Structure 1
Amino acid sequence: MDDTAKYLIHASIAADGVVERSDVVGAVFGQTEGLLGDELDLRDLQQSSKVGRIDVQIDSENGQSFGRITIASSLDKVETAILAASLETIDRVGPCQASVEVTNIEDVREAKRRKVIDRAKELLAGSFDESVMDSSKILEEVRESVRIEDITEYEGLPAGPRVADADAIIVVEGRADVLTLLQYGIKNAIAVEGTNVPDPIAHLSEERTVTAFLDGDRGGELILRELSQVGDVDYVVFAPENRSVEDLERHEVMSALRNKTPYGDIVGEGDDSVAPPEVGTSDDSPASHSPVPVAETAAGSTTVETGVAEENGERAEGHGERAEENGERAEEASATESDAAEASPSTLREHVRAVIDAETGTARLLDADYEVLETVPAADAFDAIANAETPPYALVVDGEVSQRILDVAAQRGVEQLVARSTGEAVKTPVDVRVRTAEQFVAAD
């Protein structure tokens, strides 16, 4: 019937009580029987395949039922309109008072024509202008597809195939970063997928040589700070300011990894602040490694020439002045950062507190830097994700997550989802990390 249908009748139904689909179908047949005569009797029209099956979707809430009725018709316009109008005579479903309203009659052929036109435009724009690939492009594309297929999981985290057995690993922020490194032949990367470093990576860092390759933004600094607290970091590489690892070209990635900086060189003892070095800068410059010239005697005493001692004294005074100046700057930066943190949440944990712990009844869409893209009522989370101009990186919702929200989150590329509770989802997307607020706190 769907192949020959000309029109689709769409109607809404509301009942003052709990009713089932079979009750609605029975009411449609029973209360329209004989109303329009033998030629437009609904049962006869179905038997002659002029009308399709009655599709009913009904939900009950707070003792009332609401739903939609859809009927396919191959009758002409006039007959279809009369048949649609007859549905509005239904005033009872089972023992309950009910009302039906026809919302619209859809012309199936017109929709198909629009689809044909849109597809024809796409084909016209893209199919005739493609240039023929040369052999080098063909080889590179095949190699790239093989590398992408090599992505695996290590204890639920996106990772390259060598993470499980390599002596050294590269810790990156997200799945896209792992894919980028795989394209360039680097197979020992693993993603933390957020600013909260998972336990598997913390355990790996105690056994392997760890290079943290992070985005050049505040999120990268936060990940490095937590990684250094829960595990061991040997080397650090940051992408250029306001750029992500996934945006770097092959030569930029290779240059950055060749010039990686020892963690101790950018974070002083007892100092949690980080100063990201630029990609491609070498830490082999004489200024960064030249010690103060001191000679040890056999007896263990230190001998220093007079001229050198004076020079070292001047340098010490200079270092003292710079240390005081740096201390003042660090205090100012700390105060500024503290004020900014109070003004606006900067981590996923802070957003969870602001939305779920505060019982706001809202949903908050976040970008990769945990900046707020949009805040909507929790009931509108599905539409907000589906219609977001910029696909969100994370979603925090003070409510229950349904299968519809999980599906649209996977389609729009949402990587982190934290909710007050999760419903009975039939299928949880692999690419979306889903946690309840309780699980998030426990993992934290």
Structure 2
Amino acid sequence: MDETAKYLIHAEITAAGVVERSDVVGAVFGQTEGLLGDELDLRDLQDSKKVGRIDVDIRSEGGNSYGDITVGSGLDKVETAILAAALETIEQVGPCSAEIVVTDIEDIRSAKRRTVVERATELLADFDADAVRTEDIVETVRQRARVEDITSYEGLPAGPRVADSDAIVVVEGRADVLQLLKHGVKNAIAVEGTDVPEAVAALTRERTVTAFLDGDRGGDLILEELSQVGKLDYVAVAPRGRSVEDLPYEAVMSALREKIPYETVADAESPAAAFDADGGGEESVALQPGAGEGDAATAVAGVEGESTAGAATAGGRPDTTSEPEESVETAEESDVDADSATDTPTVLSDQIDAVIGTDSDTVRLLDAELTVLSEGNATEAVSLIEGCDPPPQTVVLDDICSQKVLDVAAQRGVEVVVATGDGEYVKQPTSVQVRTV
């Protein structure tokens, strides 16, 4: 095809016999010669580069021949359409009767424009994702500095103060350690699963220990094993149905302030019941001024009246106070996140258990209050998300999260998709968080 071609004529040929490419090309030239006058003579148009070469893909099956014809055209729309119609007048190829049907006239420039638009959209998305706003520079540098502080303790992800702090925070996984580091808590260590490592068990017998776990069944199981293999002093939990790795700064600090003694949890039916009965825990733990706001700030995880290594002041300077009871300060009541105490009619973990835990092969669409907006077969997830009014904020899917589900979720403003696994994504929108069960 000539590089100056603006249109592509696509046609299909059927011949009642066995023919070859040369037979088709010969029939095209022979049977259109003189048909359209001198101005649209096919040979003259090829010589002047206004029509490209005639591409023919032919195959024979059961004594008949089938194929595709493609002709590039540099003519205008009207002349190209006339040339395409002339192809349909061909009735014989070689010794065989034949029929040619034009299936499409493609605008090459339009196709290129679509390619340009798609590529430009991808480039713009990447550009926006990498852009750092001026007001975010300071916080971005601080967060990266904190995350880079993650270390390894006996092969486990840990904050840099775990080795020498009198108090530690035990969390579930590496992502939780990173999240706490981002908020200035540098004495956290991860158990990396429900099988608590001996290194963590040994630490719990030597330090003041706070277990800070997800508000789901997995967190309950880890707490139970921790209590069997080690020693716990306090328990803090994320809001029911949420993970520590997803909590913002205010929620992390609120949960740590509102932790309760382990004995209270041990005597209750479940951690959730213990917190409900306790009323959210006593404010027996506080942060040094500026914790979570300076590079050297460290969250205090000890109890009131006990010394806590690694506490820092707002300027990042170590607290030189020698009296143990002055190393911890009681948090102001105004710092408590009131939203964390708000009850909701249901929690996400219950929805996940109902949809994925029962192998229901269904999809459930939820609003901001986790109220069910729509429900149906998992195979109909795309159409249900598209047609849901109002748009859902959370999708719980008992199936793999496919690219189509992810795309329509991003279009409708869905914030979270919980599925049984990840599909093969060509591009994952940054606006949708995918969680797998």
Q: TM-score, normalised by structure 1?
A: 0.43
- Counting helix residues as a fraction of each chain, which structure ranks higher? 1
Q: TM-score, normalised by structure 2?
A: 0.43
Structure number with bigger Rg = 2
